[in-house]
Amino acid sequence: MASLSRRHMLTILGASVAAPAIVRAQETGPLKIGGMLPLSGPASIEGHQIIRGLQFAVEEANAKGGVFGRKLELVMEDDESNSTKGVTAVRKLIEREKVPFIIGTYASAVAVAGSKIAREYKVPMLSGGSTAASATDENPPGDPWFFRSWPDSNGQGESTAQDIIRVLKKTKIAIIHDNTNYGLTLAEQVTRVAAAEGGTIVSKDSYNAGEQDFSSMLTKLRTQRPEAVYIGGWAGDGANIVRQAAEVGLRTQFIGSGSMLSDDFIRLAGPASEGFAVATMFESSTPNPVGRAFGDRFREKYKAEANTFNALGFDSTSIAIEAMRRVGKADGAEIQKMMKSGMKDFPLVQGPAGTTAAFNDKGSVDFRCFLAIVRNGRRSLSPVG
């Protein structure tokens, strides 16, 4: 995907949006929705995949004639996975662009910081990938303004740990995680659930996101002979770890967090990605018929297979557009009310068949993840996952 500038605007026919009451409404011309993702920095791989899902959702709204008969502009801001830049981006989207909702962001710390600002302005945010439970825990009880349309890191870690034991039949587990909120939470959940399932954690190592040299850590780990190594962190780091593991002769089953679902991960890891297992919320071979139909349409347009990040961006954007359509106006506060309780029948492309936008009191959805295995350079769902 071509590189995007830090402020990239896409204008496409689609849903009508107006700003929340606290800021002056958009009255004429194109209506804008906001997006905030890491388009540069350590999580840019994931950010660029998610934005394609945003784009596709808006383009499909266009093909159906839009909402309220007005054009839609998707205004993107690059937060670089930086909380300070994220806060600035949220203010710009609300105060200057007057968007009624924001899709974003990926890094949980940035989401927590940005969502506090959005809540002050009564502008709902829908996750562009942030999984830390703390992001939705910040919501006022029963009155969420930050919503998440895939499981949080607690749910993802739990599903993955169960699959390591039950599906992959591995019980001696090593954990490698980054020091972000995301990596720490995943490591905690895998540790807890693996122990409950009868597994043993033989070692636990941490690293700083963006670190390049893992050879010493992996050489030491090789002597412990783990049956499986779980990696909790971002895609680029995970690719470096599995590639360097092969170089030092560490041969075992690697399992990664949901961030490692993109084709870019497979490309960066190269042959070392063969057999890599990863928790996934979507694959084009999904048993979810709504998801399969989305995968078919995505393939027809982009001549590529959709992945979890594409699906996440699509779901989050589609939910917001449909909520706006249902309330009959582009008002952030009304959209938030609709998302709290009025979207339980809206089907998602992610998750098992029947998954809907049924947000809980904290603003999160919960569904069982799948397990995908890389075979011959492509992910496929485990037949028993």
Q: CATH code at 113?
A: 3.40.50.2300
Answer whether residue 146 is part of any domain.
Answer: yes
Domain boundary among 222, 247, 280: 280
Q: d(Cα 322, Cα 15) in Å, to the nearest integer?
A: 9
Residues 267 and 344 in one domain: no
* Residue 131 CB partners (closer than 8 Å, separation 6+): 108, 148, 150, 151, 152, 153, 156, 182, 185, 258
Q: d(Cα 18, Cα 331) in Å, to the nearest integer?
A: 6
Answer whether residue 376 is part of any domain.
Answer: no
**What's the pLDDT score for residue 383?**
61
Q: d(Cα 205, Cα 361) in Å, to the nearest integer?
A: 35
Answer whether residue 379 is part of any domain.
Answer: no
Residues 169 and 190 in one domain: yes
Radius of gyration of the chain from its Cα atoms, rounded to whole angstroms: 20
Residues 15 and 104 in one domain: yes
Q: d(Cα 191, Cα 200) in Å, to the nearest integer?
A: 8
Answer whether residue 380 is part of any domain.
Answer: no
Domain boundary among 280, 305, 338: 280
**What's the pLDDT score for residue 4?**
44
Answer whether residue 2 is part of any domain.
Answer: no
Residues 192 and 254 in one domain: yes
Residues 170 and 260 in one domain: yes
Answer whether residue 318 is part of any domain.
Answer: yes
Residues 37 and 142 in one domain: yes
Q: How far is CA 336 from CA 124, 147, 215, 243, 324, in A?
A: 6, 9, 48, 44, 9
Answer whether residue 340 is part of any domain.
Answer: yes
Instruction: Output phi, psi for 229, to 5 deg.
Output: -125, 120
Alpha-helix runs per DSSP H in the chain: 44-63, 83-91, 108-120, 133-137, 153-166, 181-196, 215-222, 235-248, 263-269, 289-302, 308-327, 332-341
Question: 298 is in which domain, residue-wise?
Answer: 7-151+287-367
Per-residue pLDDT of the chain (385 residues; tens, 9 = 90+): 334 444 454 443 333 333 344 444 556 667 789 999 999 998 898 899 999 999 999 999 988 888 788 878 899 999 999 999 999 999 999 999 999 999 999 988 899 999 999 999 999 999 878 887 788 988 988 999 999 998 888 888 888 999 999 999 999 999 999 998 888 988 999 999 999 999 999 999 999 999 999 999 999 999 999 999 999 998 899 999 999 999 999 999 999 988 898 788 999 999 999 999 998 999 999 999 999 999 999 999 999 999 999 999 999 999 999 999 999 999 999 999 999 999 999 999 999 999 999 999 999 998 988 999 999 999 988 764 4
Instruction: Give me the residue label for tokens 């895609």.
Output: 235
CB atoms within 10 A of CB 133: 18
Residues 123 and 42 in one domain: yes
Tokens of 312: 């996440």
CB atoms within 10 A of CB 3: 9
Query: Cβ(234)–Cβ(208) under 8 Å?
Result: no
Answer whether residue 201 is part of any domain.
Answer: yes
The number of folded domains in the chain is: 2
**What's the pLDDT score for residue 141?**
86
Residues 135 and 244 in one domain: no
Residues 164 and 112 in one domain: no
Instruction: Supply the DSSP string of 169-235, one letter for each residue.
Output: ---EEEEEEESSHHHHHHHHHHHHHHHHTT-EEEEEEEE-TT----HHHHHHHHTT--SEEEEES-H
Closest by Cα among 114, 107, 149, 115 to 132? 107
Closest by Cα among 179, 225, 166, 173 to 199? 173
Residues 310 and 181 in one domain: no
Residues 160 and 271 in one domain: yes
- Residue 7's DSSP bridge partners are 77
Residues 15 and 130 in one domain: yes
**What's the pLDDT score for residue 188?**
93
**What's the pLDDT score for residue 25?**
55
Query: Cβ(151)–Cβ(159) under 8 Å?
Result: yes
